[in-house]
Amino acid sequence: MSTNYLQMVNNVLTRLRENTVTSVGDTPYSSLIGVFVNDAKREIEDAYDWNALDTTIIVNAVANTRSYSVVGSGQRFRVQDVLNDTQDVSMRQADGNWINRQYYLSTVQSSAPIYYNFRGVDSNGDTQVEVFPKPDASYTLRFELFVPQDDLTSDADIVKVPANVVQLLAYSKAIAERGEDGGVQASEAYLMYRLALADAIAIEKNRYGETNVWTEV
């Protein structure tokens, strides 16, 4: 069952033996717990390549343009694969200095792009990518990424990573912030979170076998 932002905050408040709220921003303390929930969410997103964060972003390359925004990628994503779908080839990540040399220290090649390098961000905070060779026509480039979810802001926002793990880490942070809580020390709460995280990752690995497949490159 999906768990929203308000439900997670109230679950943490209940563990802390605090009154629940009707909105995350109802009280200064519920707002603080909301911050801890988002902090926890980000840490858990960074801990593993969760299938729920699996995202395909299409970049439409056009002739004579080397740089593009990967719209919707943000800056915290992890790469699974990059494909030139038009040519049915896998693209390879190249060193930015090497790509610069191809563009500025030699005759520029124009053909289907097969190399890419992430460089800079656009005004929306999305990562930019440059490709080589310089496209000589239109190409569809597929970026298969793990893209973390934006911070939860609305009460009804649904968390994508395991909610129980997020709640346990947020609870651990709340205990650390105010000291020992009813005999449960922050270190003990953090251990409960680590065990829950390990279980969640083990279940995920069992469900999605491709995360355990090694291929020769």
pLDDT for the residue numbered 112: 96
Q: Which residues, including other chains, have CB under 8 Å from residue 160's CB and lie 6 or more apart?
A: 50, 52, 53, 149
Instruction: Indicate the pTM of the whole model.
Output: 0.87
The beta-carbon contacts of 205-213 under 8 Å, at least 24 apart in sequence, are 207/51, 208/51, 211/49
At residue 201 the predicted structure's pLDDT band, cuts being 50, 70 and 90, is: very high
The percentage of the chain sitting over the pLDDT mark of 70, rounded to a whole number, equals 93
pLDDT tens profile 127-150: 999 999 999 999 999 999 999 999
Tokens of 55: 């995202």
Mean pLDDT of 37-60: 97
Beta bridge partners of 131: 116
More confident residue, 215 or 4: 4
At residue 68 the predicted structure's pLDDT band, cuts being 50, 70 and 90, is: very high
Tokens of 90: 């896998």
pLDDT for the residue numbered 182: 56
Asked if residues 159 and 149 have their Cβ atoms less than 8 Å apart, the reply is yes
The distance between the two most distant Cα atoms of the chain, rounded to a whole number of Å, is 71
What distance in Å separates the CA atoms of residue 84 and residue 179, rounded to the nearest whole number?
Answer: 53
Burial status of residue 138 (CB atoms within 10 A of its CB: 0-12, 13-18, 19 or more): exposed
- pLDDT surpasses 90 at 76: yes
Mean pLDDT of 56-77: 97
At residue 106 the predicted structure's pLDDT band, cuts being 50, 70 and 90, is: confident
CA dihedral 176, 191, 14, 52 (to 10 degrees): 110
pLDDT for the residue numbered 210: 57
